[in-house]
């Protein structure tokens, strides 16, 4: 069944096509309120590596979500942090030795900032090294992650892996704003260019070679071209022949190797404290 034909409730159950044995042994602290404590307040889940030592502060990867969760529940029957893809990515990240953070939201732009502030203020009790933070985002969630990379007052963000995502509207093209109108994700970097992106954050841009959604690969190509011309620390992987969301729908050794590369990228750039 094609992605476009799959019922949303079934799509919500899809898990990443790669796993490692340690993923089943991670520890999860669930539903920690990060912005208020009243009914309906947004919460986050924190995934820890198996047998993580108490008192150690580990680097963390934030799984960025650019849609309001109310809409996700209406369409998929569950919040972003409960999606099969989110849970399986969080477990992979934790099993690779880092902390993974998934969260629910009400306002994508305000709440992602609240999550980062909560991590900073509670790093000790969370066991997180708040100066070693990576971002993972996919598809329509990528514009919000890119916006975070434009904020120079957030030096804790050390790396980011935008996957098969809409990037920026560049050179007069409008694929991001067009998709935003159709799908309703946050696009706070509208009107921005690659010049606004920090030049000290390594990026691993992952492209699905046969992405079937209009404008995504054009936006990736334009972004990477401008990033290379500006000499940003950017690496691109093109998964030849793969569809959108290949980590869920392209069950192949090539997909699994790219997922491993994403995890290795995060591990490498979040290692150490310097």
- What average pLDDT does range 108-124 have in this prediction? 97
The answer, yes or no, to whether residue 141 has pLDDT greater than 60, is yes
CA angle, 237 then 238 then 241, to 5°: 150
Rounded Cα distance between 15 and 79, Å, is: 15
Which of 1.10.1040.10, 3.90.226.10, 3.40.50.1820, 1.20.120.1630 would CATH assign to domain 3-270?
3.40.50.1820
Phi, psi of 175 (to 5 degrees): -65, -35
Rounded Cα distance between 13 and 193, Å, is: 35
Q: What tokens does 89 get? A: 């990515």
Rounded Cα distance between 35 and 118, Å, is: 8
Q: What tokens does 116 get? A: 């980062």
| pLDDT tens digits for range 85-101 | 999 999 999 999 999 99
Q: DSSP characters for the chain?
A: --GGGS-HHHHTT---S---GGGGG-EEEEEEESS--STT--EEEEEE-TTPPTT--EEEEEE---S-HHHHHHHHSS-GGGSHHHHHHHHHHHHTTSEEEEE--SSHHHHHHHHHHHHHHTHHHHTEEEEEEEEEEEGGGHHHHHHHTT-TT-TTEEEEEEES------TT--HHHHHHHHH----TTTT--GGGS-SSS-EEEEEETT--STTHHHHHHHHHHHHHHTT-SEEEEEETT--TTHHHH--SHHHHHHHHHHHHHHHHHHSS--
Q: What tokens does 113 get? A: 């900032």
Q: What tokens does 184 get? A: 């309703």
Domain ranges of the chain: 3-270
Residue 1 confidence class, pLDDT cut points 50, 70, 90? low
141 neighbors 64 (Cβ within 8 angstroms): yes
Residue 192 confidence class, pLDDT cut points 50, 70, 90? very high
Residue 6 confidence class, pLDDT cut points 50, 70, 90? confident
| pLDDT tens digits for range 230-269 | 999 999 999 999 999 999 999 999 999 999 999 999 999 9
State the first-to-last Cα distance of the chain, in angstroms, to the nearest integer.
47
| pLDDT tens digits for range 201-213 | 999 999 999 999 9
User: pTM of the full predicted structure?
Assistant: 0.96
Of 164, 156, 170, the C-alpha closest to 198 is 156
Helix axes 216-229 and 175-183, enclosed angle (nearest 10): 140
The answer, yes or no, to whether residue 24 has pLDDT greater than 70, is yes
| pLDDT tens digits for range 146-167 | 999 999 888 899 999 999 999 9
């Amino acid at each position: 069944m094609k992605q476009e034909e799959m019922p949303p409730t079934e799509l919500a159950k899809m898990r990443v096509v790669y796993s490692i044995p340690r993923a089943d042994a991670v520890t999860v602290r669930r539903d920690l309120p990060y912005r208020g404590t009243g009914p309906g307040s947004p919460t986050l889940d924190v995934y820890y590596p198996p047998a993580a030592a108490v008192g150690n502060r580990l680097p963390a990867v934030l799984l960025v979500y650019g849609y309001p969760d109310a809409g996700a529940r209406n369409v998929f029957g569950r919040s972003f942090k409960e999606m099969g893809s989110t849970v399986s990515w969080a477990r992979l990240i934790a099993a690779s030795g880092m902390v993974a953070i998934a969260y629910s939201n009400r306002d994508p732009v305000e709440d992602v900032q609240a999550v980062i502030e909560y991590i900073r203020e509670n790093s000790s009790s969370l066991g997180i090294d708040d100066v070693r933070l990576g971002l993972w985002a996919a598809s329509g969630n990528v514009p919000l992650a890119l916006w975070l990379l434009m904020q120079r007052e957030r030096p804790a963000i050390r790396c980011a892996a935008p996957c098969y995502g809409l990037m920026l509207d560049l050179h007069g093209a409008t694929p991001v704003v067009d998709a935003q109108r159709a799908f309703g994700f946050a696009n706070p970097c509208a009107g921005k260019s690659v010049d606004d992106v920090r030049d000290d954050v390594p990026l691993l841009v992952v492209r699905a070679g046969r992405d079937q959604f209009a404008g995504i690969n054009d936006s990736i190509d334009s972004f990477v071209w401008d990033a290379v011309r500006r000499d940003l620390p950017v690496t691109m992987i093109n998964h030849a022949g793969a569809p959108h969301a290949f980590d869920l729908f392209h069950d192949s050794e090539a997909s699994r190797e790219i997922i491993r590369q994403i995890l290795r990228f995060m591990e490498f750039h979040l290692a150490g404290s310097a």
